Structure formats: C-alpha cells, structure tokens
Amino acid sequence: MAVATARWLVLSLLVSAAAAAHDTKWKAGAAVGGQVVEKERRRVVAESEAGTVTATDVADAAGTVYRLQFITMDPGALFLPVQLHADAVFYVHSGRGKVTYIQEGGSETSSLEVQRGDVYNLEQGSILYIQSYPNATRERLRIYAIFTSNAINCDDPSHPTSEAYSSVSNLLRGFDVKILRQGFGVSGEVVEAIQSAKSPQLIIMYNPDQEKKEKSNWTEEIFDALWGDESPLNKKKKKDKHKKKDKKDDKSKSETFNFYSGKPDVKNCFGWSKTMTNKDLQNLKGSNIGMFMVNLTTGSMMGPHWNPKATEIAIVTHGSGIVQVVCPSTDEGGRRGGDHGQGGVECKNSVFRVKEGDVFVVPRFHPMAQLSFNNGSFVFVGFSTHMGENNPQFLAGEHSVLQVIGKEIVALALGQKNTTAVEQLLSAKSGSTIMACISCAEELERKAEKEEQEGGKGEREREEEEERERKQREEEERKKREEEERARREEEERARR
Ligand SMILES: *[C@@H]1O[C@H](CO)[C@@H](O)[C@H](O)[C@H]1NC(C)=O
Ligand SMILES: *[C@@H]1O[C@H](CO)[C@@H](O)[C@H](O)[C@H]1NC(C)=O
Ligand SMILES: *[C@@H]1O[C@H](CO)[C@@H](O)[C@H](O)[C@H]1NC(C)=O
Ligand SMILES: *[C@@H]1O[C@H](CO)[C@@H](O)[C@H](O)[C@H]1NC(C)=O
Ligand SMILES: *[C@@H]1O[C@H](CO)[C@@H](O)[C@H](O)[C@H]1NC(C)=O
C-alpha cells in the first residue's frame, strides 16, 4: 500500500528529477500531469549590461507549445525594435516604461505607458520596442511575455530554430548592398552605414537627451527604408501637431488592463484572486490567452479545482508554495495502466514545491490545489490558454459540480456504501475558493518527501523483482525448448530405427 501511494506522489525537489521528467514529457509532445520549470533551467536569449531575456517553452495536453520570455531591463534601458513572429501577451511585473509598436499593415506608431500589473497583447507581424524609464523609482522594468505560433510548435525547446521575434536590423542586413539600394531607393551611404555597423545587443542603455539625434537618425533610416515615404515615423512627424488628438485615440483603442486596479474577484483574509478573459479586455480580443493572479497569505489554500478548457501556465512572482496536481485518468489498478497513448509517459499525481521565478503548468481537466506555507505568502500570475468559455470548476463549496450530482450518486462514485461521509463532505460549509489551511503545505511537502524516498526504494525493489521474473521466465523457456528439442531428436531416432 505504501508503495502504491508512493507512486501517486512525486516531489520534484531535485533539479535533475524535474529535468528528466520535463524531457520525457517533451518527447511525448504533450504535457502529461503537472510540470514545473525551475528558474535555473531557463534558456538565456539575450544578456547585456542593460538587461537580460530568458525563455522557456511549455506544452499543454494537446501538444501546443507556448514560449515564455522573461525580459528584465535596467532603468534607462532600451529594448531595440523587433518584429514579432508570434502572437504575444505581455504582463508588466515591475517598473515603468513605454512600449512603442506598429501593428502589421499599420502606418502609425502607437505607444503605451506601462507600469506594474499592466497587461497588453500584440499580434504577430507587429514591430515593437520598449523603453525602461530612467526616472521614477529606478526599479527595473520586468516583463513576462507568452508567445504562440505554429512555428514555435515544431521547435526543439532546447535548441529552437525559430525565435519569437527577430531584430529589425536582421531584416535588412541579410540583403546585398545593391538590392537594398535599388529596392529601397536609398543612397549607398545609408546602406553602408546600416550594414557595416556591428550588431548591437538586444537591450542597450539609452539616454534620449544625450543621444537623441543619433538615435532618431538610426530608427528613422530603418523605418524609411522599410516603408519609404509611408514610414510611420514620417507620418508621425507630420502629425505631431495633432499629437494630443492622436494620443487620445491611441488610448481609447488600446487601454491596458491592470491587475491592481479595481476589485479582485475573490478577496478575504486568506488571500485574493483576479481573473481576466479576452472578454474582459479589449486588448486581448483576438487572443486565446487570458490571465489570472492569485495572492495567498500565510497558511492558505486555493481550493481543489480544475479547468475544463484551459491549461494554466503560472509564474511564481513572490514566495514559495506547494502545488498538488491530480491526474484525471489514472488507472488505480496498476502502474502499467497509466499509458494514455502518450508514448508511454505515465500521468502521475504530483506534489510540486515551487519558488519565485519557477513556472508551473497544469493541463486542462487536471484538478489542482495551491497552498502557501505558514511563514510567507505565495503569489503567482499566470496565462490560461483558450480562455473563451472556460469556467474553473471547484470541487468544494455550494457551486461544486459534486453538489449538482447529488450525494447518492457521488457516494456510489466514490465507492462509499454509507453516504454519511459523503453527506458530511458535501454539507461542509466552505465559503470561498480561498481558505485557511494551516500547515497544509508543510505536511504535504513532508509527506511527499517521505513517499519520494520510499517510492525510490519501491521502484528499485520492483525493478529487481521484474528482473528476477524475467530471468525465471527465460530459464523456463530455455528448458522447454531443450525438452522439445530432445523429444524431437528421440522421435527422429525412433523413426530411423
Ligand atoms: C519619467 O520620464 C518619462 C519620459 O521621460 C515621463 O513621461 C514621465 O512623466 C516621467 N515620470 C516621472 C515619475 O518622473
Ligand atoms: C544622421 O544621418 C546623416 C545621413 O543620413 C548623417 O550625415 C549624420 O551624421 C547622422 N547624424 C548622426 C547624429 O549620426
Ligand atoms: C499579497 O497580499 C498581501 C496582503 O493583502 C499584500 O500585503 C501583498 O503586497 C500582496 N502581494 C502582491 C505581490 O500583490
Ligand atoms: C518556510 O517554511 C518552509 C517549510 O517549512 C521552509 O522550507 C522555508 O524555507 C521557509 N521559508 C522561509 C522564508 O523561512
Ligand atoms: C456510516 O458511517 C458512520 C461513520 O462513518 C457510522 O457512524 C454509521 O453508523 C454508518 N452507518 C451505517 C448504516 O453503516
């Protein structure tokens, strides 16, 4: 029994364990059970004195791959213009800055003043650059972005061939000088200047007061080359007189959503949560991604629930906690029963410990609960895929599906001959989806650690046993073959005589 339970609980405390699990899941092409990507395992996309970009890929149960990027910019840094190759949703975790973008086919730049808690999205084909304000609190501008595209889907996550965006300078540099001159109708010097310059880092320090002239020259030429007279910057220059009006238009067109403005959906002394779907936010229209944020105070729990349509991809932004994920279709009967056509990857119920910067993924239909420790709060922000009509289903409380099913049927489903326990389960008053759960995280962690150790032992014993059985089977088969051989030879002998 202990061994059986052990198989149910996997604690990925060790990086290597998580790494192995992650790799296996990748081979299967889809997430099976929950998955965690530790902060330390992110891939470095760009690194300079002014900032860094790290990335990780995660998959949902259907095998769709999402690329997460973590952009950190020092105050006063500039993230140079890139063209998006994927649809993107951005969440501003800290700092203040300005995001300037041109939608595909657009002929105008628009800009957003962004601050902590803001969410906005951009379509593939858009060009954008980001400034981190040098003033204000001198806090670093930190942005979490999620990218989706078919190109990302067929990539090997450790050595991706397609990035989520490309530098604008790469769009031009690849061409022959003559092609650029003729194609864009610019002078040789312009082409020369663009092509001979050393490729800059993705994020650089930028002081607009000192470098204004040079900088605007550089961007203008690129935009001029790309769009000619239709360059958005040219238009912008012409329109600068009407700047006030433009700004207002931009604002109404692309209001950012902010997690810290307005009321949370759920709030009590154990924490709060807030969800945002593409219906809530003009910005996310046309995007399949929604967002949520959960802040659990000490010793609290986000009660057991699952998503019927969405996969949750969450990033821990503060503290640490425990996430329990249950497999919706585990065969309790035997450990070989877990193959759900995923190339032999077993869906395992799991208990993960996660810390600031870690990413955890919970596929749809997988019931989960998140718990904070007694000594600190646990805050995570996340992206949910396919947010259209997804309504998280809670197991407890008066709106639980179990209530709807009714106690008799639930008792049968749980194999309870006696409905008393089920009655108590369903009549228990649980006012909210966020509730107190003192020492729950600690106990779960301890238990999972213990089971992990025992489980490891159990695994070895089982393997040894299997090996023994296999040897015995082979031995028997060998004997049988010899027996048959002898019989055949005797038969031949007899026939000859
Ligand atoms: C910071 O600088 C930007 C642009 O230089 C300006 O728009 C903004 O008002 C400034 N903010 C503060 C708090 O000084
Ligand atoms: C701006 O570009 C022109 C040529 O197009 C060049 O002569 C000039 O030096 C540039 N300015 C700066 C500050 O680099
Ligand atoms: C989480 O909630 C607590 C209590 O309401 C608050 O003090 C803390 O600042 C919140 N943390 C975040 C990151 O929102
Ligand atoms: C909080 O408690 C957990 C579990 O007991 C422990 O692992 C963790 O280190 C503690 N965190 C802090 C900040 O003390
Ligand atoms: C059902 O179980 C409860 C306790 O779990 C017990 O008190 C009760 O007598 C049982 N009823 C029947 C009919 O067995």
**Does ligand 3 lie within 6 Å of residue 377's CB atom?**
yes
pLDDT at 259: 86
Q: According to the model, what pLDDT value does residue 425 have?
A: 75
- Rounded Cα distance between 464 and 479, Å, is 23
Q: Which of 151-160, 223-232, 243-252, 364-373 has the highest mean pLDDT?
A: 364-373
Mutate to test the pocket of ligand 5, among 414, 418, 422, 425 (most ligand atoms within 8 A of CB): 418
Rounded Cα distance between 92 and 32, Å, is 30
Rank 178-187, 246-255, 320-329 by mean pLDDT and report only the highest: 320-329
Residue 11's pLDDT band, with cuts at 50, 70 and 90, is very low
Least trusted range by pLDDT, from 55-59, 125-129, 146-150, 389-393: 389-393
Q: Using CA atoms, how far apart are residues 148 and 473, in angstroms rounded to an integer?
A: 50
Q: Cβ distance 394 to 334 under 8 Å?
A: no
Q: What is the mean pLDDT of residues 466-480?
A: 85
Residue environment code for 363-396, b if the CB has 16+ CB neighbours within 10 A, otherwise e:
bbbbbbbbbbbeeebbbbbbbbbbbeebebbbbb
At 460 the pLDDT is: 64
What is the Cα–Cα distance from 458 to 464, expressed in whole angstroms?
10
Let me know how long the chain is: 497
Q: Ligand 3 within 6 A of 318 CB?
A: yes
Higher pLDDT: 45 or 221? It is 45
Does residue 484 register a pLDDT over 80? Answer: yes
pTM equals 0.72
Q: Output DSSP code: residue 192.
A: H
pLDDT in tens, 19-40: 434 443 333 344 567 888 999 9
Per-residue pLDDT, averaged over 153-163, amounts to: 72
Closest listed ligand to the CA of 197 = 2
270-323 tens-digit pLDDT: 999 998 876 666 666 667 788 899 999 999 999 888 888 788 999 999 999 999
The region of weakest confidence among 133-137, 270-274, 492-496 is: 133-137
List the strands of the sheet with 87-94, edge to edge.
43-48, 51-59, 65-73, 141-148, 87-94, 118-122, 257-258
Mean pLDDT to the nearest integer, 181-208: 80
Cβ-Cβ contacts under 8 Å for 316 (sequence gap 6 or more) = 354, 355, 356, 357, 358, 359, 360, 378, 379, 380
At residue 78, the pLDDT reads 92
List residues near ligand 1 (CB under 6 A): 133, 135-136
Site to probe by mutation for ligand 5, drawn from 408, 419, 420, 423 as the one with most ligand atoms within 8 Å of Cβ, is 420
CA of 403 to the centre of ligand 5 (A): 21
Tokens of 344: 């032999």
Going from the Cα of 130 to the center of ligand 3, the distance in angstroms, rounded, reads 27
Q: Considering only CA atoms, which of 49, 109, 73, 10 is closest in space to residue 325?
A: 10
Closest ligand relative to 420 C-alpha: 5
Q: Regarding predicted confidence, which is higher, 142 or 413?
A: 142
Instruction: Name the residue with higher pLDDT: 338 or 288.
Output: 288
At residue 243, the pLDDT reads 39
- The whole-chain average pLDDT of the chain stands at 76
- Overall average pLDDT of the 109-133 stretch: 90
